Amino acid sequence: MRGLDRSTWDRDILEPPPSQITNLLKPADLPAERPLAGLSRSSDLALQVVNAAIEDNKRLKASWKAHGERLKNQEQLLLTRKRTIEAILAGTRLPSLNDVIDPLPALTKIEDIEHQE
C-alpha cells in the first residue's frame, strides 16, 4: 500500500502500473481477432511447407544433375569398350562354318555307374 505522503504522489504517478493491473487494462479480444490469428498461423505454416518443398526440389535437381553426369561417363566407358571389341574382331579371322567340326557325334557315351540301383 502506498503512503499517504503527498510528496511522493508525483513520482508514483509517473511509475508504470503493476503487472496485475496492466493485464486488467488490456482491451478484450475482439471476436474477429481469434480467427485472424488462426489464419495467420495457418498461412505461416503453409509458407514454411512450401519453402521446405522448394529446398527439397533444389536438392533433387542437384542429385539429378549428378546422376546425369554419371550416365554420360558410363556411356563413354561403354563406347570405349565397344571400339575395343570391334578392333579385336576386325583383327581376328574367324574360320568358316564348313571348317568347324561338331565334336558331339565323336563323343563316346560313358556308362553312369553312380546312379545305378
Cα distance between residue 95 and residue 47, in whole Å: 73
Range with top average pLDDT, 6-10, 13-17, 44-48? 44-48
Torsion angle, alpha carbons of 23, 27, 31, 35, to 10: -60
Please check the confidence at residue 1 and state whether its pLDDT lies above 60: no
Report residue 52 as a C-alpha cell: 521446405
Residue 3 is predicted with a pLDDT of 61
Q: What's 104's DSSP letter?
A: G
Domain boundaries, the chain: 6-106
pLDDT-based confidence at residue 114 (cuts at 50, 70, 90): confident
Cα distance between residue 51 and residue 46, in whole Å: 9
Residue 110 is predicted with a pLDDT of 85
**For 50-100, what is each residue's pLDDT tens digit?**
999 999 999 999 999 999 999 999 999 999 999 999 999 888 888 888 888
**For 27-54, what is each residue's pLDDT tens digit?**
766 777 777 777 888 999 999 999 999 9
Percent over 90 (pLDDT), the chain: 39
Which stretches of 15-32 are DSSP H helices? 19-25
